[in-house]
Amino acid sequence: MNRFHRQMLLAAFRPEGQQRLARARVAVVGLGALGTLQAELLVRAGVRHLTLVDRDVVEETNLQRQHLYTEADLGWPKAERAARHLQTIWSEAQLKVHVADLIPENIHELLRDVDLILDGTDNWATRWLINDFSVQQQIPWIYGAAAGQEGRVMAIQPGTSACLGCRFPPPSGQHLDACDRVGVWNTLTTLVGTLQVQLALEHLLGHPVPGDLFRITVHPFQVHRYQVQRNPDCPVCAHHRFLALEGTYTERTLVLCGRDTVQIRPTPPRQLDLASLAEELKKLGTVEQRGQVLRLITPEGELTLFPDGRALVRCPDCTPERAKSLYTRWVGG
């Protein structure tokens, strides 16, 4: 029996529905609590072509809510390990894996061939970047966020619905809490990610998708739905001013809240020979190579290094200045 038999019984799929899913090309940006659930549900539903983008590695605190990962994945790039687990779910899935930070310099290359983008990120700079790209390229995307006991979901269809900038223009979203400051229910991230996938499947199957903002709260459980009108003076969808694509909101040095970790992205990117660098770094401490990343552990702190020169520096009371100093000493200027 066809593995998709149970959903093909549904009238919403119609005879050609499964073929539409098999042809669709979907990107999941961010493979944390939202993105891993999105990717798993999409693959299980029969979306064959997925582009996976994530800049981070699996940490122990992720396991409370992030699907797909196990203790065996700790320290590995999320995109790599998510792809590995997805391939075991459906061996015919065609996965493009990018261990990368989505930034203005690479977004066109990484997302140019997709039909739909799902937001699994945890920061507003990347969301505004996706929104600019979506409006510019006329590619729909589905925003999602979850922190504490509140989550939000909104489907954006350029030219039809409001865009993210109509509801959350920069820098308005920056005051909203992040899960590493206020915690998060693992049931909340599952609810938000599931609603994002439901809207994605409706879109891919050719059904109408509401452009409303959905607000989900847990403890106590409530769902609210708000109409979002297009802003006739929106800089993005009305005036086509794409500041995020120009790099206005992109930070080269970023403090990752709640982790004593600073992300450093050299400009321009540096292509590193991690194998050769590993031999040099062994003089400083313990070195581990896991997939596309190299990890150095020293008494002063830890370095997670990516092939393009991007790094995560963890140290006590880690400031951008201290992280840059350690990076320069360990890797070079």
SS (H, E, C) 164-182: HHHHCCCCHHHHCCCHHHH
The letter for the amino acid at 202 is E
Is 179 an annotated catalytic residue? yes
How far apart are alpha carbons 101 and 57 in whole angstroms? 12
How far apart are alpha carbons 39 and 45 in whole angstroms? 10
| Residue among 163, 166, 179, 237 flagged as catalytic | 179
Please check whether residue 128 is in contact with residue 170, taking contact to mean a CB–CB distance below 8 angstroms: yes
Residues in the chain: 333
How far apart are alpha carbons 282 and 286 in whole angstroms? 6
Helices (H), 138-215: 164-167, 179-182, 186-204
The letter for the amino acid at 63 is L
With vertex at residue 305, the alpha carbon angle to CA 301 and CA 308, rounded to the nearest 5 degrees, is: 150
Q: Around Cβ 244, how many Cβ atoms within 10 Å?
A: 25
- Catalytic (active-site) positions: 179
